[in-house]
Amino acid sequence: MSASAKPSIFLRFRRETGGAAAVEFAIVVPVFLAIMMTIWEFGFAQHKLSSIRFAMENASRSLMVNNALTEAQLSTMVKTQLSSIADNNVTVRLSSTTVSGATVKTLTGTYTSSIGIPGMATIPISWSTVVSTPMP
């Protein structure tokens, strides 16, 4: 049989009279799609967390250069950077401690999101990332 005379998969599926292929298709495809969408949701959640960490590190570098920056200014910096690449629903906190006579400022970013798994309840997830910066 030549390649052009070979019936397509859709024609073979239509000609199937037993119904077994249709039943298998109906069972397997929804499960496969649910798994794929869950993987996509989890991957996108990890992307958001990585983006928040990157924005926090950039704000920390700015704090090292200009240690007079306030918590509100740093929060605005982080949210502005995230507005184009991820959800900017992040809370930024600034704290300062003295260790062995040196000042260390710590930025803490907290992000709350949810992962929706098809056919199951939505799972709320809260991440927190901390970036410490020694002050000159």
What is the rounded distance in angstroms from the CA atom of residue 128 to the CA atom of residue 89?
Answer: 12
pTM: 0.71
Domain span at 33: 6-134
What is the rounded distance in angstroms from the CA atom of residue 34 to the CA atom of residue 51?
Answer: 26
Number of other residues whose CB lies within 10 A of the CB of residue 24: 10
| Domain presence at residue 101 | yes
| Domain presence at residue 58 | yes
> How many domains would you assign to the chain?
1
96 forms bridges with which residues in the sheet? 105
| Domain presence at residue 1 | no
Burial 96-132 (b: 16+ CB within 10 A, else e): eeeeeeeeebebebebebeeeeeeeeeeeeebebebe
Q: In tens digits, what is the pLDDT along the chain, a chain of 136 residues?
A: 555 666 677 777 666 666 777 788 889 998 899 889 888 888 888 888 899 999 999 999 999 999 899 999 999 999 999 888 777 789 999 999 998 889 999 999 998 888 877 777 788 888 899 999 998 8
Q: Which two tokens stand for residue 120?
A: 């199951």
| Domain presence at residue 42 | yes
